[in-house]
């Protein structure tokens, strides 16, 4: 498969595609881990969440990016409050 991409697009685009696939897989696994071990949830992850993670792979990635953005904004607010004090 990689050889077919290489023959069609060349070295640099094949490298970019392969790296993006690996990064997407890592983000997918991190998103699932974050959804399962999220301390902000009142109860554990239910069966529907687990099935959504498996059958809709972009869901954990989108949740992970949203959680990263939420944490960034929270840290920024806290540091702004600390500067005022």
Give the model confidence (pLDDT) of 13-44 as tens digits.
999 999 999 999 999 999 999 888 877 776 76
Give the model confidence (pLDDT) of 39-78 as tens digits.
777 676 678 888 888 899 999 999 999 999 999 999 999 9
- Contact between 45 and 35 under an 8 Å Cβ cutoff? The reply is yes
Q: Report the C-alpha gap between 54 and 59 in whole angstroms.
A: 9
* Cα dihedral 76/82/84/85 (nearest 10): 170
Looking at the whole model, is its pTM more than 0.85?
no
Which of the 8 DSSP states describes residue 35?
H
């Amino acid at each position: 498969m990689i050889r077919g991409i290489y023959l069609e697009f060349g070295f640099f685009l094949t490298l970019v595609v392969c790296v993006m696939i690996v990064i997407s897989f890592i983000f997918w696994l991190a998103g699932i881990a974050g959804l399962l071990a999220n301390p902000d949830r009142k109860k554990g992850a239910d069966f529907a969440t687990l099935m959504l993670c498996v059958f809709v792979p972009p869901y954990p990635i989108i949740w992970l990016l949203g959680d990263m953005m939420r944490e960034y904004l929270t840290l920024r607010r806290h540091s702004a409050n600390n500067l005022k004090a």
